[in-house]
Amino acid sequence: MNYILYRLQRIIKTKTDAEAHLSNDFKRFKSVRLGLFSFIIFWDTTDGLDIVYYFTAANKRQRGLATYLFKKMLRKFAGKRLFMDISPTNHASLNLARKLGFRLIGIRPNYYNHKIPAYLFSYP
Residue 71: helix, strand or coil by DSSP? helix
d(CA 54, CA 75): 17
Q: CB of residue 46 vs ligand COA: minimum separation in angstroms?
A: 23
Q: CB of residue 57 vs ligand COA: minimum separation in angstroms?
A: 8
Assess 65 for contact with ligand COA (CB under 6 A).
Answer: yes
Assess 38 for contact with ligand COA (CB under 6 A).
Answer: yes
Assess 99 for contact with ligand COA (CB under 6 A).
Answer: yes
Residue 83 contacts residue 121 (beta carbons within 8 Å): yes
Q: Which of 54, 121, 118 is nearest to 82 (CA)?
A: 121
**Positions that interact with ligand COA (CB under 6 A):** 38, 53-56, 61-67, 90-93, 95-96, 99
